[in-house]
Structure 1
Amino acid sequence: MSSVLLAVNGTLMRGLELEKNLLDVGAVFRYEAKTRRCYRLWSIRDIHPAMIRVEPGAEGAAQVDVEVWEIPAEGLASVLQKEPEGLTIGKVTLEDGETVLGVVGEPALVRGMREITSYGGWRNYLKSLEK
């Protein structure tokens, strides 16, 4: 059985609402990581985030906290089908230069939404809402 590494940055993370979607297909958490400094992050109505790749060095480009999971290749479609509309699978570059598959947002999804890049990740943003 072949597997792939998948970087997740929101509700698929450990302990959050959609982690079950990963566990149901036999995915295994591998490690926490940061992306390369070429992403921005938005809150989609405080329900889930959307991470968009931008040019390295572009204004607002930052690192985003992610979790890397090993997922059976045949389970990837099932996980993607259960993601909110506007989220898809793309390539994500990690801080160490490794490129893995990852959950990314379509640019149209973030129009008019709150940018939360400065929080560094979805968990940090959620913590800020508790205050």
Structure 2
Amino acid sequence: MTETTQLAVNGTLMRGLELNDNLVEVGATFLREDTTAAVYRLWTIDDRHPAMIRTTDGTGTSVHLEVWDIPLVGLASVLAKEPAGLTIGKVLLADGSEVLGVVGEPFLVEGQREITEFAGWRAYAAAAEER
């Protein structure tokens, strides 16, 4: 039996987006759409992918994301293919539970556009297409 863990993804790893095949190739399965607790801020990194960072100053929002079940043996492979500055950390979900998830390192967002008001990558990408 393969050991798995839950992984929250908030950007291009989501279903139908650019890097989703990285999850599928390691045998990950989609579990559900979910949201984080209202403690995260979100940036676009050169309009290629988002970076989500947890806050402690009360300026966060709930971010829409997907939760996947991923084999532990595939987790390193997925992380290795993520853009520089994205890493795996614990993500606090709206129901108070924690799962592993893709988060940004603080240096990554320096000089980038904050998109927290969109509360998710899909909403930001849709608005960007309308511009």
Superposed pair shares fold, TM > 0.5 = yes
Instruction: After superposition, give the CA deviation of every residue in 1:53-94 in whole Å (9 maximum; x if it has no partner).
Output: 111xx2421110010000000100000000000000000010
Cα offset, 1:3, TM superposition: 0.2
Q: In 1, distance between residues paired with 2:54 and 2:59?
A: 11
What does residue 37 of structure 1 align with?
Answer: 38
Query: SS of the counterpart of 2:74?
Result: helix
Q: Calculate the TM-score normalised by the size of structure 2.
A: 0.97
CA contact (8 A) 1:60 1:117 kept: no
Query: SS of the counterpart of 1:14?
Result: coil
Instruction: After superposition, give the CA deviation of every residue in 1:15-58 in whole Å (9 maximum; x if it has no partner).
Output: 00000000000000000000001100000000000000111xx2
Query: SS of the counterpart of 1:71?
Result: strand
What does residue 49 of structure 1 align with?
Answer: 50
Query: SS of the counterpart of 1:63?
Result: coil
Indicate the RMSD between aligned Cα atoms, in angstroms. 0.6
What does residue 84 of structure 1 align with?
Answer: 83
What does residue 72 of structure 2 align with?
Answer: 73
> Does 1:17 find its partner at 2:26?
no
CA contact (8 A) 2:39 2:58 kept: no
% identity of equivalent residues? 60
- Structure 1: which 4+ aligned runs deviate by more than 4 Å? none
Q: In 2, distance between residues paired with 1:60 and 1:9?
A: 18
Q: Calculate the TM-score normalised by the size of structure 1.
A: 0.97
CA contact (8 A) 1:86 1:105 kept: yes
> Does 1:108 find its partner at 2:102?
no
> Unaligned 5+ residue runs, structure 1?
none
Q: In 2, distance between residues paired with 1:26 and 1:59?
A: 37
